[in-house]
A and B are shown apart, each in its own frame.
Chain A
Amino acid sequence: MPYSDKVLDHYNNPRNVGSFDKSDTTVGTGIVGAPECGDVMKLQLKINADGVIEDAKFKTFGCGSAIASSSLATELVKGKTLEEALQLQNTDIVEELALPPVKIHCSVLAEDAIKAAIADYRQKNGIAE
């Protein structure tokens, strides 16, 4: 199966693997996907008082493209405001990683994970969307 060099790089050297404390009010957690579909992504964002994402971590159960998509997502959101992060689209990930059509769903999952993490943070802190 042909993987792009960028997918291989993220798969072999994933960025920002790990977890934050789920109960921390400065942390937003998004878990998307299902084991029976072969993909589960957990993305966590640490957000400072100015609404800027200062750190991000992920854990992914899935194929190499899913691991690469979530690893890249953590890199892309760091330093962005929540509003900016919400502008990110799966196509940004597809382009950067040169994902083939059968792996587009991995990038969609990563976009959903970012949105779910931000929604979780807002809900925890009583912030309306």
Chain B
Amino acid sequence: MSVTLPIYLDNNATTRTDPRVVEAIIPFFSNTYGNAASKSHPFGWAAEEAVDKARAQVASLIGADPREIVFTSGATESNNLAIKGIAEMYAEKGDHIITVVTEHKAVLDTCKHLEASGMSVTYLEVDETGLIDIDVLKAAITGKTILISVMAANNEIGVLQPIREIGAICKERGIIFHTDATQAVGKTPFNVEELGIDLASFTAHKMYGPKGIGALYVRRRAPRVRLSAQIDGGGHERGFRSGTLNVTGIVGFGEAAALCQAEMAADAARLNDLRDKMEARLLAEIPECQVNGNREHRLPGLLNISFGFVEGESLLMGLCDVALSSGSACTSASLEPSYVLKALGVGDELAHSSLRFGLGRFTTPEEVEWVTEKVISEVARLREMSPLWELHLEGVDLSTVQWQPH
């Protein structure tokens, strides 16, 4: 089987820019390089026309009106703009936000920032599959709740939250609904009208577009959502986000969105098939491993799996020919297990030995097969070397052993 190493299986971190997207962008560097805000000459007009086309492509992907798309530098900025912008704009109405413990740091840290300035934030827990409980969400709503922010798809485990139900609750209670849809848009059907969403953050580079360009969907009617701008200046993007438009990025975003709209169903079916085969083989051939997150409500192509009795860093070392993410942020000697896996109740040891495989548009069946084989052989090799696996095979319950921690 022929594969080129290293193999890229980290498509939930970022994706390769589709060559068709690159091709669409190139003329906007050297030929059509005008400032989209220049109204007095053809360079500006051409740039503006390209931005208009891309805005329509991005809007179409999520079922929005082009006037509801605010271009930003990426999903982190979109999350900041949405949450801080609402907190400021609706401060007189209330001071309470509801979000979830497994959100991306761009949401959690923004909420923490607001807490420091007096907002009150409820962080909903999740069940062992990563899903929130709708009844708990309803019970958390107070008369002061102005915003509910729940991500559409989780970046580590891929769990898809019940966005439609949350949208309906928000509509009924008159609360603004923001979703961090970074992982969901372009990979799974996502329509702001059908789902009842008021604000949605997403970014081009997770959907085969370039880095440094994202968007915030801002609902214009029923209800008309208002926001306090976080970046002031020339009043671009209808005053929501000043700064010269990133025309090359926007053109690439538009093209990427159009490609996703056309190919999403086929891509998703193929990636689910590849992922399911990989998952089935790993579960069948490796004892004592577990899939993390809800397997029914899950992003296409994502697999998060933990291997017992194997240490995570050594496993990553064995898989050095594969680009993937692990369940611990081990940038130093202090291993910090993933807070998402922790929220699911996954123990620290299993969290450390968890891997996130992110398959994407350019992943081949041969690559998936190569990686599957490699994981099976590396786990077996490391377990052969593991005193914990030996004790486990002898029938010893490791929780009863007196260890000598260092």
Contacts and interface: CB of A to CB of B under 8 A. Distances in A.
| Interaction A to B | yes
Interface of A: 1, 3, 11, 14, 17, 19, 31-42, 59-64, 66-67, 102-103, 105, 108-109
A33 B309 contact: no
Contact of B403 (A19, A34, A102, A109): A34
B404 A32 contact: yes
Interface in B344-376: 348-349, 352
A59 B403 contact: no
Interface stretch (B79-87, B160-168, B295-303, B379-387): B379-387
Contact of B309 (A11, A61, A63, A105): A61
Contacts, number: 79
User: Lowest 9 A-B CB distances belong to which pairs?
Assistant: A34-B403, A42-B387, A102-B333, A63-B313, A34-B405, A59-B387, A64-B317, A61-B386, A61-B388
A114 to B, nearest CB: 14
A61 B335 contact: no
Interface string B281-316: 000000000000000000000000000011111100
10 contacts: A34-B403, A36-B348, A61-B309, A61-B310, A61-B387, A62-B314, A63-B311, A63-B317, A64-B317, A108-B406
B333 A19 contact: no
Contacts of A31: 387, 404
A33 B404 contact: yes
A35 B406 contact: no
A40 B387 contact: yes
A40 B389 CA distance: 11
A89 B264 CA distance: 59
Interface residues of B, number: 25
A84 B311 CA distance: 32
Contacts of A11: 314, 317
Interface centre among B333, B352, B390 (most CB of A within 10 A): B333
Contact of A61 (B311, B317, B332, B333): B311
A99 to B, nearest CB: 11
Interface centre among B317, B332, B348, B390 (most CB of A within 10 A): B317
Contacts of A63: 311, 313-314, 317
A61 to B, nearest CB: 4
Given A61-B387, A63-B311, 12 more contacts: A1-B317, A3-B317, A34-B405, A36-B403, A38-B311, A42-B387, A60-B386, A61-B385, A61-B388, A62-B311, A63-B314, A64-B317
A109 B335 CA distance: 17
Interface string B133-160: 0000000000000000000000000000
B398 interface: yes
B349 A35 contact: yes
Contacts of B349: 35-36, 38
B404 A59 contact: no
A1 B398 CA distance: 30
A17 B384 contact: yes
B157 to A, nearest CB: 22
B405 to A, nearest CB: 4
A70 B310 CA distance: 16
Nearest to B313: A63
Interface centre among A11, A59, A66 (most CB of B within 10 A): A59
Given A32-B404, A33-B406, A63-B313, A38 B386 contact: no
Contacts of A59: 385-387, 390
A19 B310 CA distance: 18
Contacts of B348: 36
A91 B312 CA distance: 25
A45 to B, nearest CB: 15
Nearest to B398: A35
Given A35-B403, A36-B405, A102-B332, A67 B385 contact: yes
B311 A17 contact: no
Contact of B313 (A36, A64, A105): A64
A105 B332 contact: no
B385 A14 contact: yes
Nearest to A35: B349
Nearest to A64: B317
A64 B314 contact: yes
